[in-house]
């Protein structure tokens, strides 16, 4: 088949089964290799559209595709979505009752299935692989979340180590491995462990162009920041570092009339499942959670993610923030941080000690410190956020991205050499007296504070006392952080963090080095950013969108499925703008394939017609 006629065939199938007009970047190349019968290793970011890369070849090749996936919730979600598109898919796992399992076996033996999702331990159970060999015309083997085979990954599953047995039993069936996380080490591990043969490797860009990234100074009013975000609408996740904070914030939001639920490891399994279900089905708008929440959540229409505390690593941040906007619609990702957060993160690192001996776990502490440094660098930076994130994954991205705070509102770089010299000489004066203090105290000296401690220490007689009283504390904190960040000042711990001079400090003090700081406005201005990332609908379009959302919610409740299984926000968005009133026009909407046209065309176009005649 010539390339172009194959392309036509692929696009036709894409529209017919899934209702999409175009492939996302990278999808088509994976589909082509899979159709050619090659082994594949595909690394794509969350929201990149991995499932389609194996579902489409599964539909176009004769016979059955077996999909190995580690999480029951994920499997069920995908099967529901496939069935909604009229595709024969089923799931086999250990949580099923015997009757359901028997029914799946019957369908398998009758060759009634195109896709079968299987938990890895179920696949390895006695005789199952042989049964597949005997009864099914096995076409493809898919390993989803393939990083689970690797001990180097963050989600190691011993059962995944056995998966090469199916390769050995069915040597002619291509194996396709997919993951969203892969360092080179994990990548190589996947190829070795799964016995992939000369796999076609696909590494998609990790750029998520629909996400807006911002970092904001945490203030006393950060709760209001979260509340206002929630009031602007859309499903959202607030990540906190402790259970206590999760409970507090969830309570407060609920007190303000926002339907928010907590999620952390301290809740019973039943409560967690219940809260998760509420979130997925849009019965709860906001999930306030520790990082225990998120793995295995397929909700494509999360509109915003706020980190209320510092994430542990930049990669964790990327993945957690990346739970927004999987449907390709805008998502807003905000990281809140303060110097105090840095101190608590450092304290947590110091607490990493051997449980029996109490000796510090030096190797672990060193790695954690390095990772924290990367997170702080990201938060402090005046450079395009996207550029920094992608560099972390080894990609180059040319700023500006126009979709991050630093690109939308560049911070002017100011020469702060004089202020830096004042601050450093305060530290130097104290050092001459063999005294060491933390940043708050040093700033008090510069600002000429009259605290009891300061006066009783006689520090009001220092020559630097009061030199910096024209600038507010928050301004001075930025100078301190900038100096720390550039190694022109250091913080060590004397039980609490204290400032000490470095080689670099001397260069500044002696006027051999200037200090430039990209200062944030001390009172964060309410920039234009909010409107950028929110769903860009106004007036009548927004009202129609809301009407369609209500219709979808009713249908979803009736069918007992999450609303996004019926249509994603992206589809509703397109409907609200295009306002289809005929089946032909409705068929043009992204996400409307043959089956959904038949099932929902009438009811949704009727809703549009009603809306137009009101
Ligand atoms: P991943 O598993 O890579 O995070 P999914 O396979 O769950 O991503 O897809 C994420 C979302 O993107 C889903 O809602 C899916 O319907 C949608 N999607 C996938 N491919 C396309 C496409 N070519 N066009 C439009 N939407 C797509
Ligand atoms: Zn940018």
Range of weakest confidence among 63-72, 280-289, 409-418, 522-531 = 522-531
Q: Report how far residue 154's alpha carbon sits from residue 205's, in angstroms, rounded to the nearest whole number.
A: 21
Specify the pLDDT at position 2. Answer: 60
Q: pLDDT band for position 580 (50/70/90)?
A: very high
**Beta-carbon neighbour count of residue 202 at 10 Å?**
17
Residue 360 DSSP one-character state: B
Ligand 1 atom with the smallest distance to the CA of 47 is 4
Q: Is residue 523 part of a domain?
A: no
- What is residue 271's three-state secondary structure? helix
Which atom of ligand 1 sits closest to the CA of residue 14?
23
Domain identity same for 254 and 331:
yes
| Domain CATH for 351 | 3.40.50.300
Is residue 1 over pLDDT 60?
A: no
Q: What are phi and psi of 609, to 5 degrees?
A: -60, -45
Q: Are residues 471 and 498 in the same domain?
A: yes
Query: Is 593 domain-assigned?
Result: yes
Report if residue 534 sits inside a domain. no
Give domain status of residue 604, yes or no.
Answer: yes
Q: Which of 150, 194, 155 is nearest to 41 (CA)?
A: 194
- Structure confidence at residue 453 (pLDDT): 93
For 194-230, the DSSP string reads TT--SPEEEE-----TTEEEEEEE--TTHHHHHHHHH
Residue 533 lies in a domain: no
pLDDT at 134: 84
Residue 527 inside a domain? The answer is no
Distance, in Å, from the CA atom of 340 to the CA atom of 389, rounded to the nearest integer, reads: 24
Residue 431: inside a domain = yes
Please, are residues 11 and 60 in contact by the beta-carbon 8 Å criterion?
no
Residues 373, 422 within the same domain: no
341 in helix, strand or coil?
helix
More confident residue, 593 or 221: 593
Which of 385, 408, 431 terminates a domain? The answer is 408
Instruction: Retrieve residue 44's tokens.
Output: 């794509």
The verdict on 228 and 177 lying in the same domain is no
Structure tokens at 370: 């390095």
User: Do residues 33 and 194 touch, judged by C-beta distance below 8 A?
Assistant: no
Does residue 151 share a domain with residue 179?
yes
Give a yes or no: residue 140 inside a domain.
yes
C-alpha of residue 95 to centroid of ligand 1, in Å: 27
Mean pLDDT of the 169-196 span = 91
Domain CATH number, residue 580: 1.10.150.80
- Residue 220 neighbours by CB under 8 Å, 6+ apart: none
Task: Inform me whether the pLDDT recorded for 514 exceeds 90.
Answer: yes
* pLDDT reported for residue 532: 38
Count the helices and strands in the chain (H runs, E runs): 28, 17
Separation of 328 CA from ligand 1 center, angstroms? Answer: 8
Do the beta carbons of residue 417 and residue 425 sit within 8 Å?
A: no
The answer on 493 and 562 residing in a single domain is no
Q: Which residue has the tokens 């009031």?
A: 231
For the chain, the C-alpha Rg in angstroms (whole number) is: 28
Same-domain status, 282 and 367: yes
| Pairing verdict, β 89-92 and 211-217 | unpaired
Helices (H), 393-515: 405-408, 417-432, 439-446, 452-456, 473-485, 503-509
Q: Which pLDDT belongs to residue 256?
A: 96
Q: Given this model, what pLDDT does residue 6 score?
A: 86
Do 89 and 149 belong together in one domain? yes
CB 117 within 8 Å of CB 89: yes
Query: For residue 302, what are the β-bridge partners?
Result: 235
What CATH number does the domain containing 477 carry?
1.10.10.10
Residue owning the nearest CA to atom 16 of ligand 1: 327
Which of 14, 42, 51, 146 is the pocket-test mutation for ligand 1 (most atoms within 8 Å of CB)? 51
Predicted confidence (pLDDT) at residue 53 exceeds the cutoff of 90: yes
Q: 193 to each of 197, 331, 403, 428, how far by Cα in Å? A: 11, 36, 39, 57
In degrees rounded to 5, what are phi and psi of residue 546? -65, -40
DSSP letters, 484-513, are HHTTSSEEEESSSEEEE--HHHHHHHTTSS
Tell me the backbone φ, ψ of residue 469, rounded to 5 degrees.
-75, -15
Residues 215 and 363 in one domain: yes
Q: Which domain holds residue 267?
A: 211-408
Q: Give the model's pLDDT for residue 255.
A: 96
Q: How far apart are CA 242 and CA 305, in angstroms?
A: 17
Measure the CA–CA gap between 190 and 184, rounded to whole angstroms.
10
Long-range CB contacts for residues 340-349, cutoff 8 Å, separation at least 24: 340/218, 341/218, 341/309, 341/310, 342/310, 342/372, 342/376, 343/497, 344/241, 345/310, 345/372, 346/372, 346/493, 346/497
Q: Which of 178, 203, 228 is the last residue of a domain?
A: 203
pLDDT number for residue 3: 63
The ligand 1 atom at the shortest distance from the C-alpha of residue 20 is: 24
Distance CA 591, CA 574 (A): 10
Here the tokens at position 83 are: 């069935």
* Alpha-carbon span 475 to 491, nearest angstrom: 19
What is the number of the ligand 1 atom nearest to the C-alpha of 45?
3
Report residues whose beta carbon is within 6 angstroms of any ligand 1 atom. Answer: 20, 22-24, 27, 44, 46-52, 298, 300, 326-328, 568, 590
CB 284 within 8 A of CB 299: no
Cβ proximity of 208 and 45 under 8 Å: yes
Q: Rounded to whole angstroms, how far apart are CA atoms 426 and 598?
A: 75
Tens digit of each residue's pLDDT (9 = 90 or more) over 421-446: 999 999 999 999 999 999 989 999 99
563 shares a domain with 488: no
Structure confidence at residue 355 (pLDDT)? 86
Nearest atom (ligand 1) to Cα of 50: 3
Best residue for ligand 1 mutational test, from 17, 27, 52 (most atoms within 8 Å of Cβ): 52
Q: Rounded to an integer, what distance in angstroms lies between the CA atom of residue 16 and that of residue 343?
A: 55
Ligand 1: which of 20, 21, 28, 49 to mutate, judged by most atoms within 8 Å of the beta carbon? 49
347-389: per-residue pLDDT in tens?
888 888 888 888 888 888 888 888 898 898 899 888 899 999 9
Whether the per-residue pLDDT at 299 is higher than 50: the answer is yes
Residue 30 has phi, psi (to 5 degrees) of -65, -45
Note whether 269 and 376 are same-domain residues.
yes
Which CA distances in Å does 256 have to 142, 230, 293, 469, 530?
A: 46, 10, 23, 39, 21
CA 261 to centroid of chain Cα atoms: 19
Give the pLDDT confidence of 516-542 residue by residue, as tens digits.
998 876 655 444 344 333 456 778 888
Helix (H, G, I), strand (E, B), or coil: what is residue 123? helix
Residue where a domain stops, chosen among 164, 181, 203: 203
User: 226-230, 341-345, 394-398: which has the highest mean pLDDT?
Assistant: 226-230
Q: Are 441 and 332 members of one domain? A: no
Segment 121-127 shows an average pLDDT of: 88
Number of domains in the chain: 4
pLDDT at residue 364, as a whole number: 86
Q: How far apart are the C-alpha atoms of 330 and 307, rounded to whole Å?
A: 18
Q: Which of 182, 528, 519 is nearest to 332 (CA)?
A: 528
Mean predicted lDDT score pLDDT of the chain: 90
**Distance in Å, CA 405 to ligand 2 centroid:** 7
Across 507-519, average pLDDT? 92
């Amino acid at each position: 088949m010539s390339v172009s006629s194959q392309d036509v065939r692929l696009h036709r199938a894409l529209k017919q089964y899934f209702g999409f007009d175009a492939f996302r970047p990278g999808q088509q190349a994976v589909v082509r290799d899979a159709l050619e019968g090659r082994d594949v290793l595909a690394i794509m970011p969350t929201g990149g559209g991995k499932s389609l890369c194996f579902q489409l070849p599964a539909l176009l090749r004769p016979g059955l595709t077996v999909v190995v996936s580690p999480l029951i919730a994920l499997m069920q979600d995908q099967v529901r979505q496939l069935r909604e598109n009229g595709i024969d898919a089923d799931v086999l796992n250990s949580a099923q009752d015997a009757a359901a399992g028997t029914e799946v076996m019957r369908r398998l033996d009758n060759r009634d299935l195109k896709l079968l999702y299987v938990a890895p331990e179920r696949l390895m159970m006695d005789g199952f692989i042989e049964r597949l060999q005997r009864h099914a015309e096995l076409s493809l083997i898919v390993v989803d979340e393939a990083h689970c085979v690797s001990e180097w990954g963050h989600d190691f599953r011993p059962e995944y180590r056995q998966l090469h047995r199916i390769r050995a039993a069915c040597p002619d069936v291509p194996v396709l491995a997919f993951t969203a996380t892969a360092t080179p080490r994990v990548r190589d591990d996947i190829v070795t462990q799964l016995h992939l043969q000369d796999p076609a490797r696909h590494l998609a860009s990790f750029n998520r162009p629909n996400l807006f990234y911002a970092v904001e100074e945490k203030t006393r009013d950060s709760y209001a920041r979260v509340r206002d975000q929630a009031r602007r609408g859309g499903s959202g996740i607030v990540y906190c570092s402790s259970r206590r904070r999760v409970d507090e914030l969830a309570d407060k939001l609920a007190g303000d009339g926002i339907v928010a639920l907590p999620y952390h490891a301290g809740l019973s399994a039943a409560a967690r499942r219940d809260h998760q279900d509420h979130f997925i089905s849009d019965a709860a708008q906001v999930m306030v959670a520790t990082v225990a929440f998120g793995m295995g959540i397929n909700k494509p229409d999360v509109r915003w993610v706020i980190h209320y505390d510092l994430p542990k690593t930049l990669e964790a941040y990327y993945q957690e923030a990346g739970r927004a906007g999987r449907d390709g619609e805008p998502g807003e990702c905000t990281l809140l941080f303060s110097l105090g957060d840095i101190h608590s993160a450092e304290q947590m690192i110091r607490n990493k000690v051997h449980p029996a001996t109490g000796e510090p776990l030096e190797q672990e502490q060193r790695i954690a410190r390095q990772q924290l440094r990367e997170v702080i660098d990201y938060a402090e930076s005046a450079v395009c956020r996207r550029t920094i994130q992608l560099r972390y994954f080894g990609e180059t991205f040319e700023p500006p991205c126009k979709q991050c705070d630093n690109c939308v509102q560049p911070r002017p770089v100011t020469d702060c050499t004089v202020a830096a010299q004042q601050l450093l000489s305060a530290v130097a004066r104290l050092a001459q007296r063999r005294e060491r203090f933390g940043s708050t105290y040093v700033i008090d000296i510069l600002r000429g504070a009259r605290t009891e401690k300061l006066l009783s220490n006689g520090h009001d007689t220092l020559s630097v006392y009061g030199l910096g009283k024209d600038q507010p504390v928050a301004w001075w904190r930025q100078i301190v952080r900038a100096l720390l960040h550039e190694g022109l000042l250091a913080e060590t711990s004397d039980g609490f963090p204290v400032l000490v001079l470095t080689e670099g400090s001397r260069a500044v003090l002696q006027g051999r080095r200037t200090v430039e700081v990209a200062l944030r406005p001390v009172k964060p201005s309410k920039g234009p950013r909010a409107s950028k990332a929110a769903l860009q609908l106004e007036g009548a379009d927004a009202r129609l969108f809301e009407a369609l959302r209500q219709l979808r919610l009713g249908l979803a409740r009736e069918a007992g499925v999450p609303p996004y299984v019926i249509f994603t926000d992206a589809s509703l968005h397109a409907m609200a703008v295009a306002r289809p009133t005929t089946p032909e026009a409705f068929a043009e909407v992204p996400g409307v394939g043959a089956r959904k046209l038949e099932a929902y065309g009438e009811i949704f176009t009727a809703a549009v017609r009603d809306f137009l005649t009101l």
